[in-house]
Amino acid sequence: GAVVSQHPSRVICKSGTSVKIECRSLDFQATTMFWYRQFPKQSLMLMATSNEGSKATYEQGVEKDKFLINHASLTLSTLTVTSAHPEDSSFYICSARDLKQGHTEAFFGQGTRLTVV
């Protein structure tokens, strides 16, 4: 299957700083990428849908100014957590669709464990 690489896998930052997470599709072009947040022992919560070359579509309740998404190319989307607070600590996962597959199969990155201290 297609490969999605997410970086970093783990990051610790201080309150008030910003953290950028990268999501790359390594062997396919992803016009659409998705950013999820997962709390311990819970399901994935979709935060936003990122479309190449246009603004991201945020789910209800997700602050777009806090979670900045940039999808500047067909292989890279970034999520920046701005002015991080301890409550932003979570597991963030990206996924991307390979449109050449002809259906809505989504491939996932390895996830990023963010800890804000």
Partner 1 sequence: GEDVEQSLFLSVREGDSSVINCTYTDSSSTYLYWYKQEPGAGLQLLTYIFSNMDMKQDQRLTVLLNKKDKHLSLRIADTQTGDSAIYFCAAPATGFQKLVFGTGTRLLVSP
Interface residue list for partner 1 (CB under 8 A): 1, 4, 6, 32, 34, 41-44, 46, 49, 91, 93, 95, 103-111, 113
Q: Which is nearer to partner 1, 45 or 68 (CB)?
A: 45
Q: Residue 7: name the closest of 83, 77, 72 by CA.
A: 77
Q: Which is nearer to partner 1, 74 or 91 (CB)?
A: 91
- 33 has which bridge partners? 50, 96
Task: State the minimum distance, in angstroms, from the CB of residue 27 to partner 1.
Answer: 15
What is the longest distance spanned by two Cα atoms in the chain? 43
